[in-house]
Chain A
């Protein structure tokens, strides 16, 4: 193993190359690479060597300072404040993994605290993805990812029914019109079979047309025939933040506490046992700490004394298309006539064309390795990639209403890491949950909780189930999807639903107030956007942002200048126009 790794580093011309391996075969690499991409390639190559459990990279890049987060200020602040609470379980990170685990764990008699560095749930990767509930056909067979993807996909129906978020199980129809493209579809089918994807089958053109009648007209227009088609009926779409908000609200309903703007600076551990976390809001003692910290999970694990993987952020950029260009088909997938014009990152699934439950088309995501975990900048190159996935001639750059990017928390093994740390007992890694992390989330939570409960049981501490656990979250009111009669009845009952705040998406004051007065309080404009869609339409908040800001300030009892776009430091307004101004303020 060692020789093989040394050869890899030599082949990539890593200067001052060095490697160490621990008894678990966690390999730590050091040396200087000529570029960030080389560093990534070396890590991937080493991770593929037989016997290597995972790769930690201490490698550097010539002429590049790899940004490192400084945790000292958070530690200092937390220690000054001292112990603020004690919990059975602390969960780091309020993304879909953290909130999923919190919700599933909330059925037990445990004190659970979720700490989140952002101002809201779904602050990072969990909001910045395309919401695909993948069938499980794209994950490499034999990986944990593949197993949990298929399982998680199945479990989504129950989550959706209990938690009241929208799941559209639209299915995916991958169709090709050229002989040379057939092998790739067949290969996907084989993988789907191996992974146990529900209902996956090759279909004829006639069957494809039965599934989606519009295929017929489209083929006719193109003057083509289908050469192969793969039907994946279990594929679905959600609004990812809807899922996370529902999970968090249900967890809160069942007693889970959430602390936002609460960065973890250190993980306390003693004699191989976790003791708690130092956060900027004080120290929280805990018997168990579950690490769902996304791109920062590797650093949390290191703090816990278990340096066993490195997260290399892989940025994905997505373009959202205006609803005036609706999707061609009611299924995902589509008709492919030629090879992709731009190659995707080989280690990533990369994304194509899909749509949201609101039927906005999404293009992308791209997959670009970046050194900075905070880098969610969009670039012309990434947008070009996203647009290259467009197979609809009617759609162009001019139909974009928003471009955004997020980072996938990838490790070098490119698989999920879900385990109790063998070094620090009580510290559990739920790390490297990149795509298909959203689709896998229910299975990830189930597996994590299984490990936790087994451990508790071994120590004779298996928690009781709470008799009053309530798994149900009623669906959110959405005015825009009601019939006019229903809308009329709703306004009669509560006139605040008759006042539209967001014109583009038709979001009412009532819906925004419902969100503000929910159990997991949104305090920023973006947090309101994720809960209600206000500001998500084609004007991107141009008209409604001042009104949402006004409502937030009023309901939270805050001054206007304290309201932020997306948490600390992102205040929308600087100060009143003039000191001592008598007038001004809102007209209402």
Chain B
């Protein structure tokens, strides 16, 4: 078994991991290693050939692959070591990694700090309780995207999409462009799951109907999908009998949510947040396990890649502080409170005696609202107030707050 020592190991070479690795090196890490399970860097961005990436960060419209390439290009001038087709099998709380690939065999990597950037996976048909048969022609949007964009094959001719999250919307347009008839996008919630710009650009522009408060309840066809049954749902998301409609199709694409991939984190007994399904992190994006940091979609599912990269950089900065001994060995925390109208806030907590600094908080609201203020309150004072013309759960809010004092900051939505 190969024994390896590194300053910073980054698990995952997608947008979060790439940004983290580059930032760690910029901040003086001598030996940075990226462990990537796929055969190339970039993660899921490589199959995102649509544009709209990098609006915030580069002030440009790029495809996912282009966005990733910007970071991959920067690697060349660095000493960052990249291990491709390398899977991490185990992570311990003592910052040890067991990973393997075909050329190195098994590696035992001892790390100054570990940055988790494994991303997320998609929910499946069984997880959203679609009943009926289990034929070919049922797949997640990501898998359909891979077949179409990377492998060059069509997985069907007539598609129904369940879920109006961004991936579902993007795939509605993508499949239409490839000649697949998209019969409709169905969304169990009363409001769309994706960004407004995607509703407009991916559905409205192509005349693809969006059916809200409607879900797919049943799949028919023993070999390939022959049809799906859709059904209106009540306010508790329960199907309303009598509203069933059978829609002939040969492909059901599921865009029903993303789940952070935290199997390695759980193996290291890292404390998880049931709301984000990611590790509980502090203002350095450090998990409950000292020296192990999390960023990108493994910490919380972001909707913009720009934020993913940003979280990678925050985590890397934290990792370097940790290595340099600038962080307390036994950290004490104060909680960040999701107040009225706020579903969750990441980071979930701040170091009790963290120096006065700017902290970026990422949060989602509970429901769509027009004309509101996002307020941050600490020790009874409003320390930040931002006006938003509209807020909605699919659009994550990022708010930079100058944190001082010792209080627990609380975020809340207040009507104007």
Residues on A lying within 8 angstroms of B by beta carbon are 324, 374, 376-380, 383, 397-398, 400-404, 484-485, 487-488, 491-492, 495-496, 498-500, 503-504, 506, 538-543, 545-546, 550, 560-561, 564-578, 581, 583-588
Indicate which residue in A398, A488, A495, A546 contacts B146 across the interface (CB closer than 8 Å): A546
User: What is the minimal beta-carbon distance from B91 to any residue of chain A, in angstroms?
Assistant: 13
The answer to whether residues A539 and B152 also contact, given A400-B127, A546-B146 and a CB cut-off of 8 A, is no
Contact A546 B131, beta carbon cutoff 8 Å = no
User: What is the minimal beta-carbon distance from A504 to any residue of chain B, in angstroms?
Assistant: 8
How far is B98's CA from A383's CA once the two chains are assembled, in angstroms?
Answer: 39
Contact B124 A383, beta carbon cutoff 8 Å = no
The answer to whether residues A574 and B143 also contact, given A488-B1, A491-B100, A569-B223 and a CB cut-off of 8 A, is no
Contact B39 A571, beta carbon cutoff 8 Å = no
How far is B144's CA from A572's CA once the two chains are assembled, in angstroms?
Answer: 10
The answer to whether residues A488 and B140 also contact, given A378-B132, A542-B121, A573-B155 and a CB cut-off of 8 A, is no
User: What is the minimal beta-carbon distance from A247 to any residue of chain B, in angstroms?
Assistant: 25
Indicate which residue in B37, B143, B218 contacts A503 across the interface (CB closer than 8 Å): B37
- CB-nearest residue of chain B to A493: B105
- Chain A residues closer than 8 Å to B133, beta-carbon distance: 376-377
Indicate which residue in A383, A546, A583 contacts B147 across the interface (CB closer than 8 Å): A546
How far is B86's CA from A244's CA once the two chains are assembled, in angstroms?
Answer: 33
Indicate which residue in A376, A487, A498 contacts B102 across the interface (CB closer than 8 Å): A498
How far is B104's CA from A574's CA once the two chains are assembled, in angstroms?
Answer: 38
B106 contacts chain A at the CB level, 8 A cutoff: yes
- Chain A residues closer than 8 Å to B106, beta-carbon distance: 484-485, 487-488, 491
B90, B124, B127, B156: residue with the most chain A Cβ atoms closer than 10 Å:
B127
How far is B124's CA from A398's CA once the two chains are assembled, in angstroms?
Answer: 11
B100, B125, B150, B266: residue with the most chain A Cβ atoms closer than 10 Å:
B100
User: What is the minimal beta-carbon distance from B90 to any residue of chain A, in angstroms?
Assistant: 8
Contact A570 B153, beta carbon cutoff 8 Å = no
Interface string of B149-186 (1 = CB under 8 A from A): 01111111100000000000000000000100000000
- Chain A residues closer than 8 Å to B129, beta-carbon distance: 380, 383, 397, 400, 403
Indicate which residue in B105, B121, B132, B266 contacts A492 across the interface (CB closer than 8 Å): B105
Q: List the 3 closest pairs (A to B, CB-CB), nearest first.
A: A584-B152, A488-B106, A569-B223
Contact A539 B124, beta carbon cutoff 8 Å = yes
Contact B135 A540, beta carbon cutoff 8 Å = no
Contact A539 B105, beta carbon cutoff 8 Å = no
Contact B101 A484, beta carbon cutoff 8 Å = no
How far is B12's CA from A357's CA once the two chains are assembled, in angstroms?
Answer: 30
How far is B103's CA from A488's CA once the two chains are assembled, in angstroms?
Answer: 11
- Chain A residues closer than 8 Å to B406, beta-carbon distance: none
How far is B37's CA from A545's CA once the two chains are assembled, in angstroms?
Answer: 15
Contact A584 B136, beta carbon cutoff 8 Å = no
Contact A499 B101, beta carbon cutoff 8 Å = yes
- Chain B residues closer than 8 Å to A578, beta-carbon distance: 152
Given A538-B121, A546-B146, output 18 extra A-B contacts at Cβ < 8 Å.
A377-B131, A398-B127, A400-B127, A402-B124, A404-B134, A488-B105, A488-B106, A491-B100, A540-B125, A541-B143, A542-B121, A550-B151, A560-B153, A573-B147, A574-B156, A577-B178, A585-B152, A587-B39
- CB-nearest residue of chain B to A550: B151
- Chain A residues closer than 8 Å to B218, beta-carbon distance: 377
Indicate which residue in B39, B103, B135, B146 contacts A588 across the interface (CB closer than 8 Å): B39
How far is B155's CA from A575's CA once the two chains are assembled, in angstroms?
Answer: 7
How far is B380's CA from A586's CA once the two chains are assembled, in angstroms?
Answer: 58
The answer to whether residues A499 and B102 also contact, given A543-B121, A569-B223, A573-B147 and a CB cut-off of 8 A, is yes
How far is B150's CA from A550's CA once the two chains are assembled, in angstroms?
Answer: 12
User: What is the minimal beta-carbon distance from A311 to any residue of chain B, in angstroms?
Assistant: 18
The answer to whether residues A576 and B132 also contact, given A401-B127, A488-B1, A499-B85 and a CB cut-off of 8 A, is no
How far is B147's CA from A550's CA once the two chains are assembled, in angstroms?
Answer: 11
User: What is the minimal beta-carbon distance from B112 to any residue of chain A, in angstroms?
Assistant: 21
- CB-nearest residue of chain A to B140: A542
B108 contacts chain A at the CB level, 8 A cutoff: yes
How far is B257's CA from A379's CA once the two chains are assembled, in angstroms?
Answer: 23
How far is B241's CA from A511's CA once the two chains are assembled, in angstroms?
Answer: 47
Indicate which residue in B40, B101, B139, B222 contacts A498 across the interface (CB closer than 8 Å): B101
B54 contacts chain A at the CB level, 8 A cutoff: no
Contact B136 A565, beta carbon cutoff 8 Å = yes
Contact B131 A584, beta carbon cutoff 8 Å = no
- Chain A residues closer than 8 Å to B178, beta-carbon distance: 577
